[in-house]
A and B are shown apart, each in its own frame.
Chain A
Amino acid sequence: MSKPRVVLLISNLAGSNTWALYKYYLKHYSGDLEILPVFENELQNNSEVVNEAKIIVTTFIPIKARKDQVCIQTWHGFPIKSLGILDDVDRNDVDYLTRMIELSDFWLSYSATYTTIINACFPHLVENYLLTGMPRNDFLFTDKSFAVQKLSTLIGLSAEELMFKRLILYCPTYRSTLRRKDSQISANDLYELINSRIFLDYLETSQTLLVVKLHPFEEHIASNLERSSKNIFLLRNSDLLLNKIDLYEFLPAFDLLVTDFSSIYFDWLLLNKPIVFFVPDLYSYSKLRDFLLSPLDFWMPGVKCKTVEELIEAVENSLRKDEFKKDRERLKRVVHHYQDGLSCKRVFSAMEEIINANIRPPQIHIKYCEGLFLPTYSERSLF
């Protein structure tokens, strides 16, 4: 008898939960599931593979080739921005909302806090959540030297050279897509700011290497940007794909994270290292996109800076004094139920339970009905 098939849909390698599951499978899994990774851009060529799966694991839009398949939504981060039915743009995209809500049989969850926040945006029933922690976060429990080695492979500097440098990662979230404009400034503007003379001088004098990773939605901008300094490395999605390394596999290499409203910082909390928020557009972003969470001082535990001068000061202070340590620890408790690097293991156990019908999606579903999402009873057979 053939093994029950699980298809892992991979969108990109910028913090992919499905990639993390695949890597776990290759290294540690000895159970009865057949695991097949499929990159989303190759989905059309793999329709047979997907069609025969019992479980499809996704990181974004859920898909199903057959009604009796189970779709597990891993999503791609703990949200701070408005989302789903609580977001004005998403709210008007009924097709998107319906897919997200009606096709996701299970959602992986970080914690009760995350379940509540996600459910406020994409309503399901409590039985739709699997409290496992996020697979990609298992990478954060790997050794720093191992992570430096991976980074070294990607950026062409030796691990020894990197060990003597201060390593900072800059990960801004996207500012606009075809569907929405979330800020008055663009990703290009942000890139120009960190390429200003004062910041480049600071990187040089402090022997800092800044690795910049733009959001996958704004990857097209990255391809037009030139490397402006030996102290700045612009990491592209294509670099990650070519080397088959996910961004999270080398996060432990960095000493500090500079970001804004990207979900990466919620995961970064597990590393117990400082965060600086570079948010020149905090005001316009809050007006155009808005946040799910408030007050921001609680949910963004780090200095919020608007200018490059403030950014330099914040980086220096954070590395010297780390005054936000207590605030980060508090938020870590609120966000992460599990803090152990065993999330993939829990997800594989859950998938086995689903296959064995020990865990089943509830028979009540949330359905779209005349502008409302309402619980509805309906029987469904699986596999």
Chain B
Amino acid sequence: MFYDALEPRRSRRDQLVIQAWHGFPIEASGVLRKGSTFKENVSHVSNVIENVDFILSYSKMFNLLFNACFPSNSSKYALTGMPRNDFLFRPKEEALTKFKKLTGFDFKDKKIILFCPSKKISKESVLDIVENILKAKLLERTNSALLIKSDGILEDLFSSNGDNRISFLNEKILRENMTDVYECLAAVDVLVTDQSSMAYDWLLTDKPIVYYIPSYEKIENPLVEPLEDWLPGEIVFDVKGLIVNLERFLMESFIPDDKYIWLKGMVHHFQDGNSCERVIEFLHQYYEKGSE
């Protein structure tokens, strides 16, 4: 049984439960979450710890961060890299084809900005960002397209816009097409996000990231400090900074800076597209050992 969410369950004692988790953690959870003294959290944390046989790991740093929140011993970590990150190494053409299928747009001749806001950024803020990008004519000037991963509400706001440089992806479209958003990432030129986990995965692409957060307080209870050293990419706090940096990244060639390089090394032990293969190999070895 593979899980990528919070509470793994076992329906039979002899099942093997593997936690793949859902990203490189930067905010505290489990026993390090503030307010963890609440009784309900105790059983939740215990379930995450007790019901897992192995945890897929990015790197030693992942082991530390995860173990600080959900304590286990070192033998539970399987250093394989994350399966979803294999998609980042797929050919760009393949990802463009997926985009076309999902959105109906052909972005072949354009640079693509993917904007993945988390729930911490309000709908109004997202709307404000998009309107400012349009007002600044950034997409025309840089021959780019803006793809927004949203929860389905924003589309209505833009339905009458008719702009063929803006498109949307939401969970419903992805599910209907049995496609994960990571399958499209190889076609993206610049990522804009405030979600740490996607930004950390994105480091594997050696492409630019604009990390948009209105303030550091939005990162509650961080596991490391200072945040300016640990958040990947160019950190911007307002729409103006976002547009300036997007233009720079779209017009100039990108050379990863020191922070980008060391964060990539810290987060990703493996920097290839073979994580799924390693997970399968891990399972083979586990069952071979068991049958001996």
Residues of A within 8 A of B (CB): 82, 85-88, 91, 111-113, 115-117, 119-121, 123-127, 291-295, 297-298, 330, 333-334, 337, 362-364, 366, 372-377
| Residues in A whose Cβ lies below 8 Å from that of B42 | 364, 375-377
Q: Which of A112, A121, A291, A334 neighbours the largest number of chain B CB atoms within 10 Å of its CB? A: A112
CA distance A262 to B66 in the complex (A): 25
Q: B239 interface residue, CB < 8 Å from A?
A: no
Given contacts A126-B32, A375-B31, A375-B46, 20 further A-B contacts (CB under 8 A): A91-B73, A91-B74, A113-B225, A117-B68, A125-B37, A126-B31, A126-B34, A126-B221, A293-B64, A294-B266, A298-B266, A334-B230, A362-B37, A363-B37, A364-B36, A373-B71, A375-B36, A375-B42, A377-B39, A377-B42
Q: Which of A82, A126, A293 neighbours the largest number of chain B CB atoms within 10 Å of its CB? A: A126
> Can you list 23 contacts pairing A with B, beta carbon distance less than 8 Å?
A82-B74, A111-B225, A112-B224, A112-B225, A116-B28, A121-B67, A123-B31, A123-B68, A126-B33, A291-B60, A294-B60, A298-B262, A333-B226, A333-B229, A334-B224, A334-B225, A364-B37, A366-B71, A374-B45, A374-B46, A375-B41, A375-B46, A377-B39
| Residues in A whose Cβ lies below 8 Å from that of B226 | 333-334
Q: Shortest beta-carbon distance, B203 to chain A, in Å? A: 14
CA distance A123 to B70 in the complex (A): 9
Q: B265 interface residue, CB < 8 Å from A?
A: yes
Q: Quick check: A125 and B50 within 8 Å, CB to CB? A: no
Q: Shortest beta-carbon distance, A255 to chain B, in Å? A: 27
| Residues in A whose Cβ lies below 8 Å from that of B110 | none
CA distance A125 to B32 in the complex (A): 6
Q: Quick check: A117 and B74 within 8 Å, CB to CB? A: no
| Residues in A whose Cβ lies below 8 Å from that of B73 | 85-86, 91
| Residues in B whose Cβ lies below 8 Å from that of A292 | 60, 64
Q: Quick check: B266 and A374 within 8 Å, CB to CB? A: no
Q: Shortest beta-carbon distance, A336 to chain B, in Å? A: 10
Q: Quick check: A86 and B269 within 8 Å, CB to CB? A: no
Instruction: Give A129's nearest chain B residue, CB to CB.
Output: B32
Partner pick for A86 among B63, B222, B223, B230, CB 8 A cutoff: B63
| Residues in A whose Cβ lies below 8 Å from that of B223 | 112-113, 116
Instruction: Give B228's nearest chain A residue, CB to CB.
Output: A333
Q: Quick check: B28 and A126 within 8 Å, CB to CB? A: yes
Instruction: Give A299's nearest chain B residue, CB to CB.
Output: B266
Q: Quick check: B229 and A86 within 8 Å, CB to CB? A: no
| Residues in A whose Cβ lies below 8 Å from that of B221 | 126
Q: Shortest beta-carbon distance, B76 to chain A, in Å? A: 10
Contact string against A for B residues 107-151, beta-carbon threshold 8 Å, 1 for contact and 0 otherwise: 000000000000000000000000000000000000000000000
Q: Quick check: A337 and B225 within 8 Å, CB to CB? A: yes
Partner pick for B265 among A112, A295, A375, CB 8 A cutoff: A295
CA distance A366 to B36 in the complex (A): 12
Q: Which 9 A-B pairs have the closest CB atoms?
A: A123-B71, A120-B67, A119-B68, A120-B68, A294-B60, A116-B68, A112-B225, A116-B223, A120-B64
Q: A123-B31, A294-B59 are in contact. Are A116 and B72 (CB under 8 A)?
A: no
Q: Quick check: A117 and B225 within 8 Å, CB to CB? A: no
Q: Shortest beta-carbon distance, A79 to chain B, in Å? A: 10
Q: Quick check: B224 and A120 within 8 Å, CB to CB? A: no
| Residues in A whose Cβ lies below 8 Å from that of B17 | none
Q: B236 interface residue, CB < 8 Å from A?
A: no
Q: Quick check: A366 and B59 within 8 Å, CB to CB? A: no
Q: A86-B63, A294-B59, A377-B42 are in contact. Are A125 and B225 (CB under 8 A)?
A: no
Q: Shortest beta-carbon distance, B35 to chain A, in Å? A: 9
Contact string against A for B residues 26-57, beta-carbon threshold 8 Å, 1 for contact and 0 otherwise: 00100111101101011001100110000000
Q: Which of B39, B42, B73, B222 neighbours the largest number of chain A CB atoms within 10 Å of its CB? A: B73
| Residues in B whose Cβ lies below 8 Å from that of A115 | 32, 68
